[in-house]
Amino acid sequence: MGDIEAPENKRSRQTIVRSLLPSKEFITSRKGLLLLGEVVMSFISFVCFAASTAAAFVTAPFIEFLAALFLLFAYSTKFNERFKGFHWPLMDFLRCVSASIIFFIISMISVSKYLDGASKTAGVFGFITTIFFALDFYFIFNELANFLKGGDSSEEPPNTQDDDSDSDSD
């Protein structure tokens, strides 16, 4: 008669949807806000470039949108903690540096070379997106520098030895 759904199915669907959404703690953090800004601004830049005569530059915002979306998902679901072989902050740093350089270049070309309003708008949004990526790589750089200095590391260096260890160098 009707499409009445069992409460168990409804709860399991809600659980699946909640597991795919970023956690509130992560989204309200500085990294979460920056990644969310990168996702939104990359998508807006993608749409603007697609609608302009500077459509040749549409690939870069789309790839950066997908990369930022993946990292937003990875960091918010702690997916990155399962793969210890990658140095996630370094990969994120390189992504942000390359994205900010690419967005700056394509925005400069879009604003200076193309005359239509959509290209100029794409360039302006590209500059704003550049600021998001530049802020992100600045904060990542500071965290990496502190880690390398040893000021903020909570882990022991991997090559420390116990005083009781037997070594053949005695």
Q: Is residue 38 part of a domain?
A: yes
**What is the per-residue pLDDT for 148?**
80
Kindly report, residue by residue over 104-113, the tens digit of the pLDDT: 999 999 999 9
Q: Is residue 117 part of a domain?
A: yes
Q: Is residue 170 part of a domain?
A: no
Which tokens belong to 72? 């937003």
**Number of domain units in the chain:** 1
Q: Is residue 158 part of a domain?
A: no
Kindly report, residue by residue over 7-25, the tens digit of the pLDDT: 566 666 666 656 666 667 7
Q: Is residue 54 part of a domain?
A: yes
Q: Is residue 113 part of a domain?
A: yes
pLDDT classification of 134: cutoffs 50, 70, 90: very high
pTM, whole model, 2 decimals?
Answer: 0.72
Range 41-51 average pLDDT: 92
Structural domain boundaries, residue 88: 27-149
Q: Cα–Cα–Cα angle for 68, 73, 79, nearest 5°?
A: 120
